[in-house]
Every structure is written in structure tokens, then in C-alpha cells.
A and B are shown apart, each in its own frame.
Chain A
Amino acid sequence: MRRITEHPILEFPERKVITFYFEGKPLTAYEGDTVASALISNGIQAFRESIELHRPRGMFCAIGNCSSCLMVVNGVPNVRTCVTPVEEGMTVERQLNRGVMP
């Protein structure tokens, strides 16, 4: 896992390990992670494709503003993964278009 474990100011208490699914593949995360931080800690950077030129997009603003990290979460597109907590059993998919309304 790609994670900072030691930090001069912050402490990282033990957290529960949970399982979620990225494109069908089980991955682990810590409870309290956002979907985006969970993906990045698993080495996944490309979250979606840009809507015009279909180039990879990933974490950018990290505050729910920029649309770069929108993904399909539990079947719902356009979810801001940088501000959405990951949950046990959650399914996460790359978003390849503007989002198809369920």
C-alpha cells in the first residue's frame, strides 16, 4: 500500500481494514479513507476519462470542486470520490463518459 506511515506532526491511529471493489477486483482500504485516497493507496491513479478527448483523469483539487475524480460508485455516476468515504463492499468503476443517468 502506498501510504505515509510516519509524519512529524500528524499521527495515524490504527483503523479498521475494509474491502471494496474496483472494476470488480477486491481491494483493501482503511475505514475513514475517501474512495480517492483508497484508490491511490492501491496505486490506482486514473479515475475517469475526460469527456471530449477521453484522456485519463485522476485526483486534482481534492476538495470536491473540479470534476476530475468523478467515478461510478455503487452504480451511480458523477460521484466526487475525493470527498466520498469508502465503505465496506462498495463498487467503484472508472467513468468513461459524462455519466449515464440510472
Chain B
Amino acid sequence: MSYDIIIVGGGIQGVATAYELAKRKAGKILLLEKTFLSAGSTGSCAAGIRAQFGSEFNVSLMARSLQIFEHLAEELDVTNDFLELWQGGYLVLAYSQAEFDGLKERVKVQHRFGIATEVLSPEEVAYRFPRVNIEGIYGATYHKRDGHADPLHTTFAYGEAARRLGVEIRQWSPVTRILVEDDAIQGVELADGTKEYAPTVLLSAGAWSTALARTAGVDLPIWGEKHEILITEPWERVLDPMVISFSRGFYIQQRPHGSFIMGLPPVNPVKWYDPEEFDFGPNSDFLSRMSNEATHVLPFLAQVNVVRQWAGLYEMTPDHHHIIGPVDEVRGLWVAAGGSGHGFMFGPVMAEQLSKWMIGEPMDIDLTPLAFRRFKEGKLVVEPAVVG
């Protein structure tokens, strides 16, 4: 069979882009997913969405992404309950004066893009969020439109909407090879030996993208980094914001369901380029480190039982930004991967802008600085506000 566009990978990035492309009548689209939609990093993520970034670029992108999330239920014909959209804000804690000063600098950028982040003294934190232990805190920033959306349900909703627009989504269909001839994309080969043809292939296979790109002779600097996370039993709402610290690495929030979801970065991160190396096994070390951090900053959590812990991959790049756009070396090959620990929240805006780029419409936010060629040209993109 032949298509106009083949998308490889059914995480938030691939599925949302399929929808945005179909909405713009980009032609006949096939999405191939190795297992099931959101089975990769998307399904293992912490569901956090925030506009509290530091660079103009990221703040402008996330300002738009929040807007999309706020209207996504309507757009995709589901409900906010289904998307588990919860805007209880992100409370970013500073554990040194230098860190607090840095956060305040970022707030100036955020204000320029209409993100109404507030700067709070420790006393204000204690007053507004009495459950938060302010010991060791120099201050905090809080943006009330940040929060939570369920990554699985968001992906499923995009998927259903894409199907309604005629996108063919095939699950349990691993791609083994990207087919290239004379430096131009031909299509892809699947594990069962069948081939699907298209002049355009979008590679959105998260941390698996690197191995797939190699089959097209392209060496992407994306690696998987194992991050662990846990979830507790549900309680009635007691904590509105996501509570995070960039310096200590923790993030903790209560989901609309009532459970608490929380994570911490790995102590000695290892770079995995080859899916053969990926390891999703749980560690008791994470459980004890996480419990210590969590019960220190939110002491009431000592009464809350953990239900489950798991691990997923941050799909990292050297400058912690996506690689998005065409790959110059192979005509027709596009990449959208490498969300570096925040690929879920960027998914909607990246999909929207990328779809415009792919069909040759002008973008509202120029994504070209994120193209793969930035590594050849030595033009890395810098962002100060990353967790882990």
C-alpha cells in the first residue's frame, strides 16, 4: 500500500501529529505503533504540564501548549474529566538564594508571554500551601494554570480523533527498517516483512528513534535515560499544585483520581542508545530516596501508602530539547523525538506547529532551531529549567 505520510511511533508526539496533519488535510496517513498507543515514555510519565520554563522559546511553546490543553476536550470531542485535566498550578521551590534569584529571572520571561507566575516568600508559601514544609526554602514561584493531564487518555483522545479524520492507526506493528533509496525515503519495512510506502516518514519513536534512524544511515543524538516514579493510594484532594524542586529533583502531585504521583532523577544516569539495553526494572533505592524527599517536603505523605512504582525513559538530547523537523541527509525523513523529560506537555504544541511545517504552512512559533542540523552547525538551544 502507499500513503502520503507514514508516522512511526504511537506516543503523544506521533499520535497528536497524526491528528494535526489529518486536520490540515495532509493526505493519506498511516501510523505504525510497535505495541499499543502510549506504551512508551508517554504512558510512564508523570502527567505534569507547566509553562514555568526559562527560555523565551520554551515559554512561548508552553504558553501555547497550555492553551491547547485548556481547549483540548472540545477539540477532540471528549471531556476534561476524561483528559483528567487539573490546573492546580506548579509550585517551584527554591532551596538557595541563587536558585530563587534564577527562578525570579525566569518569571520575567514568563510574564512577557502572558504567563502570570507569582513569586512567593517562604511565609507566603506556608500561608497559601499549609501542607508544604518550608524548612530550607528561600522562596518559590507558582503558576496556577500549570498542572496535570492524563498522558494515556490524552493520547487515546488524539488517536480517536485522528481515526475519525481517516488516519489509519495500526498497533502491534513494529517497524524494523526505514527504506531509503538515492537519499530519499521510500517507506518502511515491518517486522513481518511487509513494506509500506510513502514519500514522507515521520520518526516519532521516542528513545527508540535512534536505533530506527540508524537503519536510514542517520545518527541521532537521542538516548534513553531511566527515570523511576511511583504512585500511591488515592485520598480526597489535599494538595492542589505539583510541588517540585529543580535542585533536589523531586516532583510530587496529587492526580484528579486522588493518588499521589512522584519521581526523582536517577543518581548515576546511564545513556542507552540501543533498545536492547533498556531496563525498566524497579529499584528499592528509588523507593527509599523518594519516600525521604516526599515526607520531608510534604510530611502528611507519611500516612499515604505506595501502590506501585515503575520506570520509564527520558528521551534525552545533548541540549535537552526535542529534535524536530526534516533530516537534511534523507529527503522525506522527518523526526519528532527527544522531549528530554518534558515531551508530554510539549506534545500538543509540537504536533500543531510541526504539522504546519510538514505541509509547508507558516508556523506560529518557529521550530526550525530544533532541527537535527543544529548539532552539525553547533547551534544548541539552552534551557535552564529542567527537572533531573
B300 touches A51 (CB 8 A): no
A26 at interface, CB cutoff 8 A: no
A100 at interface, CB cutoff 8 A: yes
Which residues from A are CB-within-8-Å of B303?
Answer: 76, 78, 101-102
B234 at interface, CB cutoff 8 A: yes
A100 touches B236 (CB 8 A): yes
A99 to B258, CA, bound (A): 9
Which residues from B are CB-within-8-Å of A42?
Answer: none
B54 to chain A, nearest CB (A): 33
Tell whether A98 pairs with B258 under 8 Å between CB atoms, given A67-B233, A78-B233, A78-B235. Answer: yes
A57 to B233, CA, bound (A): 16
A97 at interface, CB cutoff 8 A: yes
Quick one: which of A76, A77, A78, A101 has the most chain B CB within 10 A? A101
How does the 8 Å CB contact mask read for B340-371 relative to A, with 1 for contact and 0 for none? 00000000000000000000000000000000
How does the 8 Å CB contact mask read for A81-102 relative to B, with 1 for contact and 0 for none? 0000000000000000111111
A101 to B303, CA, bound (A): 9
A98 to B300, CA, bound (A): 15
How does the 8 Å CB contact mask read for B197-241 relative to A, with 1 for contact and 0 for none? 000000000000000000000000000000000000111101000
B236 touches A101 (CB 8 A): yes
How does the 8 Å CB contact mask read for B287-312 relative to A, with 1 for contact and 0 for none? 00000000000001001110000000
A97 to B303, CA, bound (A): 16
Q: How large is the interface on B (under 10, 10 to 19, 20 to 34, 35 or more residues)?
A: 10 to 19
Q: Secondary structure at chain A's binding surface: helix, strand, loop or mixed?
A: loop
Which residues from A are CB-within-8-Å of B234?
Answer: 51, 98-99
Chain B, residue nearest A100 (CB)? B236
A78 touches B258 (CB 8 A): no
Which residues from B are CB-within-8-Å of A102?
Answer: 303
Which residues from A are CB-within-8-Å of B238?
Answer: 101
B305 touches A99 (CB 8 A): no
- Give chain B interface residues in 233-270, CB to chain A under 8 Å: 233-236, 238, 258
- Give chain A interface residues in 49-73, CB to chain B under 8 Å: 51, 67, 70
Chain B, residue nearest A65 (CB)? B307
Which residues from B are CB-within-8-Å of A99?
Answer: 234-236
A84 to B258, CA, bound (A): 23
Which residues from B are CB-within-8-Å of A97?
Answer: 236
How does the 8 Å CB contact mask read for B362-383 relative to A, with 1 for contact and 0 for none? 0000000000000000000000
B348 to chain A, nearest CB (A): 28
A62 to B177, CA, bound (A): 50
B305 touches A78 (CB 8 A): yes
Which residues from B are CB-within-8-Å of A67?
Answer: 233
Which residues from A are CB-within-8-Å of B236?
Answer: 97-101
Given A67-B233, A98-B236, 5 additional A-B pairs, CB 8 A: A70-B233, A77-B235, A98-B235, A100-B235, A101-B303
Q: Measuring CB to CB, which residues of chain A are less than 8 angstroms from any residue of chain B?
A: 51, 67, 70, 76-78, 97-102
15 A-B residue contacts at CB 8 Å? A70-B233, A78-B233, A78-B304, A78-B305, A98-B234, A98-B235, A98-B236, A98-B258, A99-B235, A99-B236, A101-B235, A101-B236, A101-B300, A101-B303, A102-B303
Top 9 closest pairs, chain A to chain B, by CB? A101-B238, A98-B258, A98-B234, A98-B236, A99-B235, A100-B236, A98-B235, A97-B236, A101-B300
